[in-house]
């Protein structure tokens, strides 16, 4: 059974359909990249999976639970990590405290063991030396790596990434992608919204192309990137890939 199962999901804001009958699956250990033009509903889809938005119709099953029926939303969110485009590190806390706060509040760990976990995760993303630094002093790439470590401290079973590199200067994209690549190699289940086509091609087990609230095409990276069936997919890919060459 898939670890995430999205069935006929609909969602609208102010009468405007943003998700219009979305279906897709994510298997355990799979990396699914969600691509598509701006405004196509990719962020909304991720936010629905994390219950930051609720759906109007359809069903999302995660870790064998219908998430709209979940009572303890906080316990559920703990199991599904989320990384945002704008990092959203806690501005009033240093790097280490960013990583231990939820461990202590949600997992009820004591400070010492929370710190151990935090340092371990920070080491993994190469940010252990910055444990005492405040977010405002870090570069975008460093912030995003800390945000990933913070999410990993909760030992999530699934990670959701919403354009993790879109707010970064080009020279910092690589360091964040390499952290995500490491996670993929550890068989973390991930859903990644991204505009980095080369990266999607490299790490994804499955690529889902969304446009205007519906999934137009999905398949292996080879299928989508080398031999797209849909005309819109072709147009979109030629546009972004051209842009990648220019930059």
Partner 1 sequence: MSLQKCFEIILKYWPSFLLGIRTTLIVAISGTAIGLVIGLFVGGIRAIRLDKTSPVSLKLFKRFIDAVLKVYIEVFRGTPMMVQAVFIYYLVYTNIVHWDKMVAAIFVISINTGAYMAEIVRSGIQAVDPGQNEAGRSLGMSSGQTMMNVVLPQAIRNAFPAIGNELIVNIKDSSVLMIISITELMFQSNSIAGTTYRFTETYFVTAMIYLALTSISSVVLSRIERKLNHTRTSLPQSDTNAHSMAIARKGADYADN
Ligand X SMILES: Nc1ncnc2c1ncn2[C@@H]1O[C@H](COP(=O)(O)OP(=O)(O)OP(=O)(O)O)[C@@H](O)[C@H]1O
For ligand X, the binding residues (CB under 6 A) are 13, 18, 36, 38-44
Query: Is residue 140 a contact residue for partner 1 (CB under 8 A)?
Result: no
Choose the contact partner of 138 out of partner 1, Mg ion, ligand X, none; CB within 5 to 8 A by kind.
partner 1
CB of 50 to partner 1, least distance (A): 6
Angle of the 111-124 helix axis to the 95-105 helix axis, nearest 10: 130
The site that binds partner 1 (CB under 8 A) totals a number of residues, namely: 38
For residues 111 and 215, what is the distance between their CA atoms, to the nearest angstrom? 44
CB of 39 to ligand X, least distance (A): 4
Are 190 and 4 contacting, i.e. CB atoms less than 8 angstroms apart?
no
52 binds, among partner 1, ligand X, Mg ion, none (CB under 5 to 8 A by kind): partner 1
Regarding 138 and contact with partner 1 (CB under 8 A), the answer is yes
Residue 154 sits in the site that holds partner 1 (CB under 8 A):
yes
**Residue 44 in the binding site for partner 1 (CB under 8 A):** no
**Of 45 and 183, CB closest to Mg ion:** 45
Residues found near Mg ion in the complex (CB under 5 A): 43
Binding residues for partner 1 (CB under 8 A): 50, 52, 54, 73-78, 81-82, 84, 86, 88-94, 101-102, 105-106, 128-134, 136-138, 147, 150-151, 154
């Amino acid at each position: 059974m898939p670890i995430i199962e999205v069935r006929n999901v609909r969602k609208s804001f102010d009468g405007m359909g943003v998700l219009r009958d979305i279906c897709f699956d994510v298997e355990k250990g799979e990396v699914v990249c969600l691509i598509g033009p701006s405004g196509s509903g990719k962020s909304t889809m991720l936010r629905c999976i994390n219950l930051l938005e609720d759906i109007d119709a359809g069903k999302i099953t995660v870790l064998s639970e219908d998430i709209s029926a979940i009572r303890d939303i906080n316990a559920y969110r703990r199991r599904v990590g989320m990384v945002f485009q704008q990092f959203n590190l806690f501005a009033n806390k240093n790097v280490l405290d960013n990583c231990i706060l939820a461990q202590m509040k949600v997992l009820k760990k004591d400070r010492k063991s929370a710190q151990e976990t935090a340092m371990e995760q920070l080491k993994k993303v190469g940010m252990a030396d910055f444990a005492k630094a405040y977010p405002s002093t870090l570069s975008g790439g460093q912030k995003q790596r800390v945000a990933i470590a913070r999410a990993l401290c909760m030992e999530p079973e699934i990670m959701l990434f919403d354009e993790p590199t879109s707010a970064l200067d080009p020279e910092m994209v690589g360091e964040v992608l390499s952290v995500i690549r490491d996670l993929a190699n550890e068989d973390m289940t991930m859903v990644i919204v991204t505009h980095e086509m080369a990266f999607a091609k490299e790490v994804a087990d499955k690529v889902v192309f969304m446009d205007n609230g519906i999934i137009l095409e999905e398949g292996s990276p080879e299928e989508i990137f080398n031999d797209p069936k849909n005309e819109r997919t072709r147009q979109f890919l030629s546009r972004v890939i051209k842009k990648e060459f220019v930059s």
